[in-house]
Structure 1
Amino acid sequence: MKKILILITAVIIASCSDNIESLNENIKDPSSVPGETLFTSAQKSLVDQIVTLNVNNNNTKLWSQYLQETTYLQESQYDQITRSIPDNHWSFLYKDVLKDLNEASKVINDTKYVLKPDIDVKSNKLQIIEILTIYTYSILVETFGNIPYTKALDIDNLLPVYDDGKTVYKDLINRLTIAINALDLSKGSFGIADNIYEGNTTLWKKFAASLKLRMGILLSDTDNTFAKSTVEEAVATGVFTSSADNAYFKYLSSAPNINPIHNNLVLSGRSDFVAAATIIDMMNTLNDPRRPLYFLKVPATGTYIGGGIGLTSDFDSHSHVSPQIEAATAPGVILDYAEVEFLLAEAAARNFAVGGTIKEHYDAGIIASIVNWGGTNADASTYLLQPTVDYNTVIANSTATTPWKEAIGNQKWIALFNRGLEAWTSIRLLDYPILAIPDGAKSGFPNRYTYPVLEQTLNPTNWKAASGAIGGDLPETKLFWDLN
């Protein structure tokens, strides 16, 4: 009898203990996050950082001289340090994007799906995560040069070494090829959890091939043989063929899912930015039909006027961006068809076998840009007939060392409007357009972001080694692919 009582008492005590411990559980928060949710979050964080005009996070629309600050001029003057911009860019991409993508991949890989439709799309989900991971790392290399890569996401290693930028970039291209080949176009992927392509694997394959094209072109001056094979493989795989293929993140009409520019320019209630003189002057000279699609006329003059670079610019006396630029639902663009056509024009100019002539791709890029922004084919045709735009005439009249770089570089830059990071990369590769030297410039033209101050403080040995390897942790230091 005593033994039975002891056993019953033990069971009651254990049961009470379990009940008491359960009172400490937060039943409102999940104990684990689905991989699909992590993917969606990482996707938004990535595009937000690429798109934003917030001067604390991304200054490339100012450096590309699309926009000019009105009052606070440091960022237009190439000041990277006052607002810790490199630290923020680095943190967003590593912590909010790459870490979440890495965790999403782990969770999805480890999840034992029961339903056949979920089982069928599991592999495609993993490949799409891989493609976005590659895209994110490519931005980091193009921004900083040598970066933590092989040890970057190891939570047990808080002081990762920096890998050679060129080695990383070529490895990313190899990884991209594997991911492309692994996609199963007969099956879907993320569905509505994917705010770019809604899980359409055919479009993701085109995106990956177009990204491979872009990355191959970037290596053209430093490793032409590898670049040529990369570009030709990408084209054979199938790159974007119309604006229907564009990689657009779909923003909504209400916070927090609005386009960051709407927050920067409208909800902030501030008047910090106007059009930059560099782009306004070129578009005025070319009588570009995209002016009313990009900007507003100054009411007092009925003309387009840009602010001087590095100078105080009165908000009411200069052109502002158009309503479609600052709309809450304006799509977040990370790659589009117009850009692909300009990349193909560059490839043709470098004698890569991509089909079509330089002029054909150049014209197609301009037409795609004008029509996609809301212009007409007639607008594009009229524009292309101008001697200052017609490819053959521009080349014949050019005094540049490499005329095709001037012709393609200028028109590609106009087409890339509002896409600061990619425009900045194109400027560094092609050396066109010729930009103004900002009044009061704090450095020469920034060929890179300097490494984060936190890296200098917390990871000094590896930071110092990386800085020495690239030629100095300076904004003017050219990265491995930027030879001219």
Structure 2
Amino acid sequence: MKKIFALFLLVSTLSACKKDIASLNTDPKNPAIVPSFSFFTYGQRLITNTVTSSNVNLNIFRLVAQQWQETTYTDESNYDITTRPIPDNLWNAIYRDALQNIERSKLLIPTDVADAGVQKNEIAIADIMEVYCYYYIFTTFGNAPYTDALDISKPFPKFDDAKTAYYDMLTRLDKDIAALNTASASFGTADVIYGGDVAKWKKFAASFKLKMGITIADLDAAKAKEVVQSAITAGVFTSNDDNALFKYVASPPNTNPIWVDLVQSARQDFVANSTIMGFLNPQTPLADPRLPYYFTVNNLKTNIYAGADPGASAAFGDFSKPSGPLLISSSIGKITNADFPGLLLDYAETELNLAEAVSRGFIAGSVEDHYNKGITASITFWGAQPSEAVTYLAQANVKFATATGTTPLQKIALQKYLALYNRGWDAWTEVRRLDYPVLTAPETAQTAFPVRFTYPVNEQNVNGVNYNKAAAAIGGDKVTTKLFFDKN
């Protein structure tokens, strides 16, 4: 009897151990089944972090576009993009991180969302976000993986022709705009940008299509005109209420990357650049009402705005810093606040794109009217009053008829450059495309002004055959090789 009992106890113990071991395979912090909306939210956060970041290992476009200047370590301000693996980091941040998460969301939505209308809207919105991501790939590197990019069965993806892929992206936007149905819902609160508002996503897609059309204006005027007119018909942004804002929060980990880079890290790496400061403050203090929202005064003793020369090392205490003084109130706060929102696309840029469209003869209308609306939208977005915009627009060097610049496009280009403060990536693209404002060569520039980024070293080493084909097709893997849209 004792033997039988002992055997029963042993079997029971082993059975219990077996069940316990199996339960250890479940990781409560990493669930095996993740809903589609989680991937979408994370993808939104990843692409916003990438375009917003000021980390010198990732997003150096504020430095290249001479909005900011480094203080001690000036490599990136002098166009050194390879000492740190910046091209690799950007490539990975978009392909491996943002696009992969958004694509995973798209693949899961058909089985994860029961309502057919919601399902259709969510797939279209996710696709719009993918087009947004690819825009920055193709306008930064040139030819790049597209048709093979997110196919895990193709570890060595071919590089698509940038122009061909770009035109396909425009077709995708058309389909997405047509698919969006405001009678059905979408992601709800999982959509950090618009809270699932389908009508706002439709405006976003049309406004981004307008941006894409303007980007290729010098490449293919007929196509650009067609795209611009189609975008306007679909319905673009009409006020700052339409701005695509990613709402960061005050506590980590979902905080504004600039706060992480400048405040949480307690670093003193950046000050204002004299190039942008010269346009913000060309004659008298506060000539541009955005100045106190963009930068601080240099210090409490002299109490003036000052920018450091491009490429030169700069004493942190002697120059203005990113953000604004505490006495300035703003509806969106300071860019160094933990909860300052990331901005993906806005009404100010849309109006200035419309001004350019009129100037190029793509649409009818008044260049000056759109120019004024774009500047006013930028000024009021940052927190200044409409009356301050009126005063600013009355200045001789701002009023469209007499504004700085010798052509209408130069006048628009300068105001785009100023309105795209804190969106250095887009400012860089506008400078490349319109060749204005003319930037000052940095003190110890490593190269000529970079009009593209070189391909990642990892692609050269791992995907060498396709890399070599791509480099040859665009005219060489150099920072001075102009991309498909850059024809000036």
What TM-score do the two structures reach when normalised by structure 1?
0.93
Give the match for residue 296 of structure 2: 296
Aligned mates of 1:103, 1:309 — CA distance in 2:
42
- State the AA in 1 paired with 2:446: K
Deviations 1:34-77 (A, max 9, x none): 11000000100000000000000011010111100000000000
Equivalent residue for 1:457, pick from 461, 483, 487? 461
- Matched-pair identity in %: 44
Pairs within 5 Å for 1:27-176: 27-28=27-28, 29-111=30-112, 113=114, 118-176=115-173
Does structure 1 residue 183 correspond to structure 2 residue 200?
A: no
Give SS of 1:440's match: coil
Aligned residues of 2:240 and 2:346 also touching (Cα < 8 A) = yes
Letter in 1 for 2:309: G
Matched-pair contact (CA < 8 Å) for 2:62–2:425: yes
Residue of structure 2 in register with 1:5 after alignment: none
Q: Does 1:407 align with 2:411?
A: yes
What is the Cα deviation at residue 430 of structure 1? 1.0
Structure 2 partner of 1:3: none
Q: Alignment RMSD, CA only?
A: 1.8
2:373 equivalent to 1:376: no
Q: What per-residue deviation string (whole Å, max 9, x for no partner) do you get for residues 219-276 of structure 1? A: 1111111111100000011000000000000000001111000011101111000000
The aligned amino acid for 2:295 is: F
Match in the other structure for 1:423: 427
Instruction: Could you list the structure 1 runs, at least 4 aligned residues long, displaced by more than 6 angstroms after superposition.
Output: 14-18
Secondary structure of the structure 2 residue equivalent to 1:466: helix
2:361 is aligned with 1:360:
no
Deviations 1:275-305 (A, max 9, x none): 0000111111152111111111122322110
**Which string of whole-angstrom CA distances, capped at 9 and with x for unpartnered residues, describes residues 361-381 of structure 1?**
001011111111111111111
CA shift, 1:18, in A, is 7.6
> Which residue identity is paired with 2:228?
V
- Given that 2:70 and 2:314 are in contact with CA atoms closer than 8 Å, whether structure 1 keeps it comes out as yes
Which amino acid is the alignment partner of residue 416 of structure 1? Answer: L
Asked if residue 351 in structure 1 is aligned to residue 348 in structure 2, the reply is no
Q: Which AA in structure 1 matches 2:192?
A: N
Equivalent runs, 1:196-345 vs 2, <5 Å: 196-285=193-282, 287-298=287-298, 299-323=300-324, 324-345=334-355
* Aligned mates of 1:112, 1:321 — CA distance in 2: 43
Q: Which residue of 1 aligns with 2:5?
A: none
Find the aligned partners of 2:253 and 2:19 in 1 and give their Cα distance. 39
Distance in structure 2 (CA, Å) of the matches to 1:470 and 1:25: 49
- Name whichever of 205-214 and 283-292 sits farther off: 283-292
Q: Secondary structure at the match of 2:78?
A: coil
Tell me the SS of whatever aligns to 1:261: helix
User: Quick one: which amino acid aligns to residue 96 of structure 1?
Assistant: D
Is the 1:405–1:431 Cα contact (8 Å) retained in structure 2? no
SS at match of 2:37: helix
Q: Report the Cα offset of residue 394 of structure 1.
A: 2.7
Gaps of 5+ in 1: 1-11
Q: What's the offset of the Cα at 1:16? A: 8.1
Could you tell me how far 1:432 is from its partner in structure 2? 0.9
State the aligned residue count: 464
Offset of residue 22 of structure 1: 2.5
- Normalised by the length of structure 2, the TM-score is 0.92
Q: Secondary structure at the match of 1:334?
A: strand
**8 A contact 1:131–1:208 mirrored in 2:** yes
- The one-letter amino acid paired with 1:434 is V
Letter in 2 for 1:351: G
| 1:156-196 deviation line (CA, Å, top 9, x unaligned) | 21111100000000000000000000001112211110110
Question: Amino acid of the residue matched to residue 470 of structure 1?
Answer: I
Structure 1 residue 27 displacement after superposition? 4.8
User: Quick one: distance in 1 between partners of 2:228 and 2:42?
Assistant: 31
Tell me, in whole angstroms, the C-alpha distance in 2 between the residues paired with 1:40 and 1:322. 27
Who is 1:393 aligned against? 402
Whole-Å separation in 2 of the counterparts to 1:182 and 1:16? 54
Equivalent in the alignment of 1:436: 440
Offset at residue 154 of structure 1 (A):
1.3
- More displaced, 169-178 or 384-393? 384-393
Higher mean C-alpha deviation, range 99-108 or range 44-53: 99-108
Contact persistence 1:57–1:85 (CA under 8 A)? yes
Aligned to 2:69, the other structure's residue is in SS state: strand
Partners of 1:15 and 1:125 in 2: CA distance: 46
Distance 1:423 1:274 in 2: 18
Q: Which amino acid aligns with 2:442?
A: P
- Given that 1:86 and 1:449 are in contact with CA atoms closer than 8 Å, whether structure 2 keeps it comes out as yes
**Kept in 2: contact 1:76–1:438 (CA 8 A):** yes
Give ranges in structure 2 of 5+ residues lacking alignment: 1-11, 325-333
Once the two structures are TM-superposed, the CA of residue 20 in structure 1 deviates from its matched residue by: 6.5
